[in-house]
Structure 1
Amino acid sequence: MRVWAILAVVAGLGLAQAAGASPAPVPTAGPLPEPSPEKRAEAEQFAVNNTLSALYHEFGHLFIDQFQLPILGHEEDAADAISTLLLLKQNNDQAAEVSYDTVDGYFMSSDLYGEADAGNVDFADEHALDVQRAYEMACLLVGGNPAEFEGLADDVGLGAERIESCGEEYATAQRGWDAMMAAHLRSGGPEGAAINVIYEPAGAIFGEVAALLKGRAVLEQVADTVRRQFVLKSPVTLRAKLCDEENAFYNGEVGEITFCYEYARFYYDLIFDPARLGLEE
């Protein structure tokens, strides 16, 4: 995890409010810059990890829709919690790396959106503020696995009192999740409805990003995780495509989760080419 990025953003934010997570306009993008092998590998992994996290978040929306889960409060917050709980359940090195990079990505995008300036904030947005999403995810992570994530909680400055309460917060979230999903667990039985994975053509500009996601079987990883654990009621299409925006979204009317290639490029550039996004390294 790039702790330098987290600490820099936290120091800059202070006690200021921050903006929501609405997608930013896509900057003009050309072919991926030619990086050093080390920087390219770091940027690619960061893009893959944040794509995985975003897809789990969208499956959170799908679960809420298909299973009519009782959600009090913002659905976006619930989808964030579901994504974090799914990562915690995997309890392996890859899931931990995805979690670290997701928190880091929230802080970096918070800096990009200028969230320390209240004038940049849309307080009516359906998403929580990116900086809030970062802290809440870090809290659930350390509450669910203190041995793995205590260092992260310290690095982002949660504080001992907050860290202690995170254990209770995680227990409450996990208890509610278990109760809501008990009737939908696969438990070794037959698979539920199918998940169809599609990678659409990406064109010359985003072709490398599309090849990265397809080569790493990113969509398939998420689909397999869901199939192993849950019995879906209706078929789902999991589609990667060009969207003209940096986004991922669930459409319940057609039973489809869309991940935009532009979103993966955004995360790639946060590490390798932050100047294109308006950030300083």
Structure 2
Amino acid sequence: MLRRFRTVLSVVLLCSVMPVAQAQVAPALDDLSDEQLQQTVNFVIGNAVFGLYHEASKMLISDFALSSPGEGKDAADELAATIMLEANQEWLDTAIVNATDSWYLARSAQTLPEHNPPVYTVLVPKVGRDQQMACLMVGKDEAGYGDLATMMGLPKNEWKACETAYPQTVARWTELLKPHAKTPGTTKFDVRYEPARDPFLDIYATMVKESKVLDLIARGFSAYDLKGEVKLTARSCGRPDTYWSAERREITYCYELARFHGELIAAHLLASNGDRGDAPAKEIPTAVNLGQEL
């Protein structure tokens, strides 16, 4: 399993392969074909990227006291999606799709863990959140995201309104952030990938570390004049989560969240393609089938 996993990691965009010091255990991934393992890595990293952008958006909102976009809308979702969509980079578009897929799959599989709101705001969305995200996506690119918006339950008769509203949303956030934009590198980030405390998390910690998702956040958000240095930490938390702490000035990504997403998509792939498959996986609602791989 370890050799296959390292081979898959070596071809994932964003990865720089490093030696793995110890054996890694992930029973949920053992029966995946190499292609399915590749899809699983893509899915885990895509969800990590979106989750971290979401928490970094919370950081911007709290540091700059940015106003809410309106009743019934999640400000961090809207800001994160706007930043990612406006970057016009395929890997960020893919991350948004992976995240929305995870909401759909988790509800369908009824595998969401117990939680106390607002904890797990990335992991446990309301159905209305799907439609808010779908509206932003079709507002940006109806042709590219129309099928996904339909799957997410956004009525087609609302798409035109989303297309009209999207540039206004972009303009609003651009105007709010403009006074806080500085030369890239203004804000310093302390990036740490801690060792996993559980051998069953080792393989997921490796995915996160070798994809350097925390470094992406440091690079992407260093151009804002934040209140001070920010710690970006990946570690074992005892629960699947990712969160921003204004008090500690730290964004934490939990390896348990990577495990949750890995097991979620692995179970779906196996259920869609038999107990084991070296043949291509059947159509699933993920970015892989849209031809957009991380």
8 Å CA contact retained: 1:71, 1:78 = yes
Listed as ranges, the gaps of 5+ residues in structure 2 are 1-24, 273-294
CA separation in 2, counterparts of 1:107 and 1:157? Answer: 11
**Does 2:157 match 1:161?**
yes
Residue aligned with 1:192, SS? coil
**Does 2:253 match 1:259?**
yes
8 Å CA contact retained: 2:62, 2:246 = yes
**Alignment equivalent of 1:87, drawn from 78, 84, 87:** 84
- Structure 1's 74 and 108: CA in aligned 2 closer, same or farther, altered over 3 A? farther
**Alignment equivalent of 1:151, drawn from 133, 147, 151:** 147
- Structure 1's 211 and 274: CA in aligned 2 closer, same or farther, altered over 3 A? same
Q: CA deviation at 1:239?
A: 0.4
Q: CA deviation at 1:201?
A: 0.6
**Alignment equivalent of 2:219, drawn from 215, 224, 233:** 224
Identity %: 28
Residue aligned with 2:225, SS? coil
Q: CA deviation at 1:134?
A: 1.7
8 Å CA contact retained: 2:180, 2:225 = yes
TM-score (norm 1): 0.77
Task: Name which of structure 1's ranges 89-98 and 155-164 shifts more when overlaid on structure 2.
Answer: 155-164
CA separation in 1, counterparts of 2:125 and 2:114? Answer: 9
CA separation in 2, counterparts of 1:247 and 1:75? Answer: 23
Q: Match of 1:10?
A: none
8 Å CA contact retained: 2:58, 2:76 = yes
8 Å CA contact retained: 1:240, 1:261 = yes
**Alignment equivalent of 1:205, drawn from 200, 205, 225:** 200
Q: CA deviation at 1:149?
A: 1.8
CA separation in 2, counterparts of 1:74 and 1:254? Answer: 29
- Structure 1's 121 and 170: CA in aligned 2 closer, same or farther, altered over 3 A? farther
Q: CA deviation at 1:72?
A: 6.0
After superposing on structure 2, the runs of 4+ consecutive aligned residues of structure 1 that deviate more than 6 Å are none
8 Å CA contact retained: 1:49, 1:101 = yes
Q: Match of 1:97?
A: 94
Task: Name which of structure 1's ranges 159-168 and 194-203 shifts more when overlaid on structure 2.
Answer: 159-168
Q: What does 1:134-149 align with in structure 2 at a 5 Å threshold?
A: 134-149=130-145
8 Å CA contact retained: 1:196, 1:236 = yes
Q: CA deviation at 1:159?
A: 2.9
Q: Match of 2:33?
A: 36
Residue aligned with 1:267, SS? helix
Task: Name which of structure 1's ranges 231-240 and 257-266 shifts more when overlaid on structure 2.
Answer: 231-240
Structure 1 residues 150-182: Cα deviation after superposition (integer angstroms, max 9, x where no partner): 332234342331111112332332222112101
Q: Match of 1:9?
A: none
**Does 2:188 match 1:191?**
no
Structure 1 residues 79-123: Cα deviation after superposition (integer angstroms, max 9, x where no partner): 1111111110221221221121111111112224489xxxx999x
Q: Match of 2:282?
A: none
Residue aligned with 1:230, SS? coil
Equivalent residue letter for 2:87: Q
Task: Name which of structure 1's ranges 83-92 and 229-238 shifts more when overlaid on structure 2.
Answer: 229-238
Q: Match of 1:6?
A: none
8 Å CA contact retained: 1:61, 1:75 = no
**Alignment equivalent of 2:230, drawn from 231, 236, 257:** 236
Residue aligned with 2:233, SS? strand
Structure 1 residues 12-60: Cα deviation after superposition (integer angstroms, max 9, x where no partner): xxxxxxxxxxxxxxxxx95553221011110110000000000000011
TM-score (norm 2): 0.74
8 Å CA contact retained: 1:58, 1:249 = yes
CA separation in 2, counterparts of 1:114 and 1:202? Answer: 23
Q: CA deviation at 1:190?
A: 5.4
Listed as ranges, the gaps of 5+ residues in structure 1 are 1-28
Aligned residues: 242
8 Å CA contact retained: 1:135, 1:158 = yes
Equivalent residue letter for 1:262: E
Residue aligned with 2:251, SS? strand
